[in-house]
Structures are given as C-alpha cells and as structure tokens.
Structure 1
Amino acid sequence: MDDASRVGEARRHAAQAAAEMGWGEVDAGRLALVVTELGTNLHRHATRGRLLIASRPTASEVELISIDEGPGIPDIPLAMQDGHSSGSTPGTGLGAVRRLANEFDIHSSVPDGTVSVARVRQIASPGASAGSATAPALEIGAVCLPAPHESVCGDGWAGFTQEGQTTLLMADGLGHGPEAAKASDAATAAFADAPQDDLRETVQRVHRALQTTRGAAICALRVDAAAGTVSYSGAGNIVGRVLSGVFDKSIVTQHGTAGMQIRKPEITSFELPAHALVVLHSDGIETRWSVDRIRPLLQRDPTLVAAVLLRDHTRHRDDATIVVMRRKE
C-alpha cells in the first residue's frame, strides 16, 4: 500500500471476488468499506503496509490480512472507538471494520507494527452457517505467498478433518515458480486421494506422485484433538513447533526429497497440551524464531499468529507458507 491508488486497486479486486461468488449489493458494500478502511490506514499511517486478500467460495467469504512494520498502535481500545477515524474515509476507522466484518482480530505493538485479520461473509450464505455437527475441533489459519516477483506459489497445503482428527499435508516444491508449483500441486492432489490413510502411506503415495516433477519437501501431520496427540511424518525442510505457555516441541522431518529419494517413512508422535498452537511452515520462514511474541497470541485467531510470523520472520527470497492450528474453546 505504497500509493493511494493501491486502495482502489484492492477494492476492485475484492469487488471482483464478491461478484464471482454472487454477492448482493449490501454484502459487496460492506466488503468495500472494510477494504477501504484497512487500505487507507496502511497507506496513511503505516510503514511497509501490505493488504492480503483471499476469497473462499465454499464459505462465501473474503479474508483480509493487514500487515505493517510500524509504528504500531499504542492504545487499541481507543483506536477501536467510533469517531476515532483514520481520516476522511467512508467509515469510522477500525471501529467500522469491527462492526462490518463477520470476524475481526487485531494485534499491535510499538514500534513493531500492527497485524489484523477481517473476514466478511455473504449474509445467510450456506457456508456461513454455525453449529454444524461435523464442524472441526480445530481452528486453522494460514498464509501462503509466492516468492518476490513470482505469480504462483511453489508451496502448497491441504487439510482434511474426520471424526475429531485433522490431517494436514504441506509441500514445498524445489525452487520457486511454475515448476515448483507443479510439484506442490501434485503433492496435495495425491494427499486428497486418501487423506485419512496412515501417515507413512501418505508420504509414500506423495513420493510416488512427485517422481515426474522436480520434487518437494513434504510433511504429513495429524492432530487428534480428542486424544490430545500430534503425529507427523515427512522428508525435507518443512518444520514447525508445538507450543503453549509451558511447552515447546519442534517438528523436524527426516532428510530427503519426495519424488527423488526418501528413506522409509517413520512417524513421530507426542502430546498436544491444552491451549497449545501447532505451527507448520516452509523454509521461506526462518527456522529459529522466538516464541516470545507468539505466546501472548495463544488464544487469538490462528491466522493472526501466521501473519505475525510472516511479518517478523520471512526470508524475503522464497515462497512462504505458514499454517497454524489450535483446539477450539
């Protein structure tokens, strides 16, 4: 958001997404106001501000992630009050975003900056219904971005929930660009064929599917919320952490590259403590990140956590993917 014209560009992009999902005027108008407020805040007040926009047709939802690197908001409650506006915008600042969005969460520190997540859904859309008996026991948030100057991301991820278990596959195609994307796409497609399988068989199946590609680092991870366990298997440099206020356990897979050469897959399992986050990411994110900034966010929106990690620990030269999971309260 380095120019005022970018606010209009973001608004047009969101409007196109809403139109493709068949939204009416009222919902599209709410979305336009949220985009305008967030975009204008970034342009006028933030350093290196970015606005990420993603549509989710199955839920008839648009997710907006606002990220900046300073100066931060010293008083969030004041900033959220009506009348405390970012300027001559159609709404009334962050208070308007909170009212208009179906979901909103924000985190800020001085001088590090501000990260917020807003989701706008179509009114009475089938995907927005609550209280489903098959609703997953975990909340999942993610950010998946291509390397600088690339139009496609060489990383990919997919998830599947059944009977209280959530299984996740993350793949990082070698290099970046279209050929890396082909490898990660093949990995997630192979995972989708039988996502409930034993993790060792999943890794082997993905390995076979990638033999016609340049290959990828992969990790298959399963969280059993009821049993309170985490299990994983894989090969390459997909890494992660399981952390809570008193627990910190690394997720590290064996050496190798799926599609090229891997050893016989093995499964590692350990407990999932109460209130813990499960974080999995590609090597576009620095491996040695401190948990100090994450612990205050343990009970916050998982996408907010992913965005903070992206802002503070991206390498700025590769595809970057972060998936964060936590048990629903």
Structure 2
Amino acid sequence: AIGFSRYEVGMISIAVAEIATNVIRYALPGKASIRTICAGKGIEITIEDAGTGIPDIDAAMVDGFSTHSEPSIGKGLGAAARSVEEFIFNKSDLTGTSITLRHFLKPVLDDTEVSVKSFPAVNAFFNHDQYIIKPFHAENLLVALSDFREFGAQSSSYASIFKTVVESNYMDSLDTLLQKCQLALRENNGKYLSQTLLMKVFPDRFEVIRCGNIGLYVGSEVIQRKPIDPSLFLLNGEVVTNGSLVEVFPRRTETTVLIHSDGISLPNILNMERNTSLDQQTRSLFDLSALDDDDATLLVVRGKYAC
C-alpha cells in the first residue's frame, strides 16, 4: 500500500508467513503488530510468541534448520531474513521470542547528488583506494572511503571483507560499524586499516568517523579535527575512547561535503559553484589536485536539504 512492488510484497509475505507458522505450530499464544516508519517510506512488523526461545540462533539462521520433524513452509529463518531489509531478534529466551522485520521503499535520492573520481597513481595498474556508496531507508546514504595500500597484493581481498561488513551492518552506529570492520580485518590479516572514513548522510545531518589521513570538507572549509588512531581503537575487542568518536555536522541548505584520499591535495578553502554540474566540478577539482605518485580519490556529496 505504501508503494512496494508485487515482488517486494511477496518477499515480505514469505518472511511473515515463515515466522507466523512457527509461532502457530510451536509457541502459542502469539501476537503481531505492524506500522509504517520513516515518514511512510518503510514498514515494521513485530511478531512475538510465548514459546521457550531458540537455543542456538546462529544455527537457526542456516537454511533448512529445524528442531522439529514437521516441514516449514520454506527454508526457515535464514530465508525469512533474506526476504526483508532488516531482521532483528529483540529477544529469544525462556519467556518467548520477539522478532522485528523492516523493509523500505527503494531509495530515491532526489535531493542528494554524489560524484566520484578515482584513479591509480601514474604508471600504476591497481588502485588501492576503495569506496562504498549505499543508499538506505529510502532517503539516507552511507559513504565510505578507504586506502588499502598497506595490505599489499591482497588489498582487493581485504577491501571485499571491509565492504561485506559495512553492507551487512550499516544500521549500526558508526563507531560500532568501524569496530566490526577492524575486527574482521584483524582476524583475517592480523592488522588494522589505518586509512578510512565512514559517513552517514541524513536529511538534517552528517555523521562521520575516520582513521588516518582521509580528508574531509564540510561546506567550504576543511575539518581539521584530529582523526582517531586505529591502534587505539581496539583493546581486547573493545572500543577505547574518552568521548564520542563520531563527528556530527548539521546539514544546511545546499551543503556540500568532500571526502578525499591522501593522493588529493586540496586548498583549505573551497568555493563550489551551484550553477555547474557536480560531475563537472568533481572532475575539474580532481584534475587540479590529484598527485601523480599516489592513488587518488575524490568523493563529493551535495544536497538541497534545509535544517
């Protein structure tokens, strides 16, 4: 009713039916609630039961898993989770299980422009800079820029690990998301990523967290705040900080944000013309500021939201 395609309605129905069938068979009484979220651009369904909980949630998420002999309508909770954008266990214990499903209209970023220029160093064949652009929740955006040069010949493999973690956990707070990325890289390679920036773009604000020398401009001025040291970020798997690691900037009318790797050398003050296409401006800035001896990436986000 809020604009989902027939396919999306079918997938949401599969997820709900799978969970509801389990409740009816094994965990009555149960109840379900449904509401729209994100100003009518998403739907949230919560299903609760009075069973004894799921002993091993990880095992239950594997296709075909069941603790009962009767077949389910599909492949279980794993298939249900893949059918919607968000699948959340609120609880699962001896008092029952509560699961929330969320799905959103496909993002249409009418008020946000994004442009990227990224090339390897002169005479180099591989670009160690990697970026991610992920719209979510119909009107928001997650952007990441990282330099994987320190991982050498395997940089593309570790960039893939990083991307998988980001796209699987994008709803986490940025400090938690970065922690998960660093843990995944350390488990696979024994080292942290020292050059990275993660940013979430909302209608009223930008949230940013960064390590190393990834450059950041908000509006026309460079943000000089010292980034966090990745070697201090984790200690025994825990975040180590005396305050918030996340920088928050208000998103004013026509605010422009520039993010760049250390292969870009920009002036301290920038004037972005509004009467020129964003791609043209990004290309011109890149041509003027890219260094020959390093991989260079310039990512620009521009919008028309008012606070």
Q: Quote how far apart the aligned CAs of 1:241 are.
A: 0.2
1-structure distance, mates of 2:223, 2:184: 30
Counterpart in the other structure of 1:253: 227
Q: Does 1:233 align with 2:209?
A: yes
Contact 2:254–2:302 (8 Å) recurs in 1: yes
Structure 1 counterpart of 2:128, one-letter code: G
| Deviates most, 247-256 or 142-151 | 247-256
Q: Does 1:280 align with 2:297?
A: no
Query: Where do 5+ consecutive residues of structure 1 fail to align?
Result: 1-131
Counterpart in the other structure of 2:122: 148
Counterpart in the other structure of 1:307: 283
2-structure distance, mates of 1:149, 1:176: 20
2-structure distance, mates of 1:274, 1:243: 10
Contact 1:276–1:298 (8 Å) recurs in 2: no
Which one of the candidate residues 165, 172, 196 is aligned to 2:140?
Answer: 165
Q: Quote how far apart the aligned CAs of 1:278 are.
A: 0.6
How many corresponding residue pairs?
Answer: 191
Q: Quote how far apart the aligned CAs of 1:196 are.
A: 2.5
Q: Quote how far apart the aligned CAs of 1:252 are.
A: 5.2
Which one of the candidate residues 201, 204, 212 is aligned to 1:223?
Answer: 201
Q: TM-score, normalised by structure 1?
A: 0.51
305 and 263 in structure 1: CA distance in 2 versus 1, 3 angstrom threshold: farther
1-structure distance, mates of 2:160, 2:106: 30
Structure 2 counterpart of 1:303, one-letter code: D
Q: Does 1:201 align with 2:184?
A: no
Contact 2:216–2:222 (8 Å) recurs in 1: no
Counterpart in the other structure of 1:182: 157
Counterpart in the other structure of 1:192: 167
185 and 302 in structure 1: CA distance in 2 versus 1, 3 angstrom threshold: farther
**Deviation per CA, 1:94-126, whole angstroms, max 9, x where unpaired?**
xxxxxxxxxxxxxxxxxxxxxxxxxxxxxxxxx
Counterpart in the other structure of 2:247: 268
Contact 2:140–2:200 (8 Å) recurs in 1: yes
Counterpart in the other structure of 2:185: 210
210 and 218 in structure 1: CA distance in 2 versus 1, 3 angstrom threshold: same
Q: Quote how far apart the aligned CAs of 1:274 are.
A: 1.2
Structure 1 counterpart of 2:256, one-letter code: L
2-structure distance, mates of 1:289, 1:322: 13
Contact 1:153–1:177 (8 Å) recurs in 2: no
162 and 268 in structure 1: CA distance in 2 versus 1, 3 angstrom threshold: same
Counterpart in the other structure of 2:96: none
1-structure distance, mates of 2:159, 2:283: 22
Q: Quote how far apart the aligned CAs of 1:253 are.
A: 2.4
**Deviation per CA, 1:4-52, whole angstroms, max 9, x where unpaired?**
xxxxxxxxxxxxxxxxxxxxxxxxxxxxxxxxxxxxxxxxxxxxxxxxx
Counterpart in the other structure of 1:322: 298
Counterpart in the other structure of 2:76: none
Structure 2 counterpart of 1:289, one-letter code: P
1-structure distance, mates of 2:304, 2:198: 21
Q: Secondary structure at the match of 1:297?
A: coil
Q: TM-score, normalised by structure 2?
A: 0.54
Q: Quote how far apart the aligned CAs of 1:249 are.
A: 4.4
Counterpart in the other structure of 1:15: none
183 and 134 in structure 1: CA distance in 2 versus 1, 3 angstrom threshold: closer
Identity %: 17
Contact 1:138–1:328 (8 Å) recurs in 2: yes
